[in-house]
Structure 1
């Protein structure tokens, strides 16, 4: 069965896209730790990051870096944190989280962001790529 992220890649589920290439997709997390929390995924459905082909892993990190730099230009924060946990969705994903405090990185607190704000934010990040 396809993961929720594969359904996003296939256009079956809407998302707030930030960046896309033929191999990767970046979109805003709909349940963000902080405003701007972005997920970077390979379009190929692979469960665990270290099961990616080495070149795909490196390319995912390069793609994530590019998105993180745009995110840093867009969202007021001290830094962009990166986390790869992957227990909740069996599809490789890199969390890029704008950090103002350490609690932004804990996955315990969530920001409320309206759909309108999400759309504006996705467009603003994309414009900073």
Structure 2
């Protein structure tokens, strides 16, 4: 299997707006966010589908998702953090965490062809980064 874009991000070959990393997972901002703070949480082990992770890797991923979702909710002062597992864009298991206040924010579809707002991404990453 070829290295996915997420594996390249984890390895530091492609820059990212990392907010969290532990032994098993890596979390970074989506460069085309549905809402400010939209975060991708990925296992460091490249497996195409979340459901194909072994039990320990799946549990580590979900523990990170829970920790990061709580952090997003508190830090951004939003009542909700939505979770999406889509699994078609990149052949590397990943979970989207989308902080929102109103359901219209959660359902927003970003312009995937737009140039990422690197200033805004850098600012929100600094706010969300775990120490």
Q: TM-score, normalised by structure 2?
A: 0.88
Confirm or deny that 1:114 pairs with 2:99: no
Provide the C-alpha distance between the structure 2 equivalents of 1:11 and 1:34, rounded to a whole number of angstroms: 25
SS of residue matched to 2:129: helix
CA RMSD of aligned residues (A): 2.0
Confirm or deny that 1:12 pairs with 2:13: yes
Q: How many residues align?
A: 128
Q: Which runs of 5+ in 1 are unaligned?
A: none
State the partner residue of 2:127.
Answer: 124
Confirm or deny that 1:60 pairs with 2:61: yes
Confirm or deny that 1:32 pairs with 2:33: yes
Instruction: Tell me how far 1:32 sits from its aligned partner.
Output: 0.4
Instruction: Tell me how far 1:107 sits from its aligned partner.
Output: 5.6
Q: TM-score, normalised by structure 1?
A: 0.89
Provide the C-alpha distance between the structure 1 equivalents of 2:56 and 2:105, rounded to a whole number of angstroms: 31
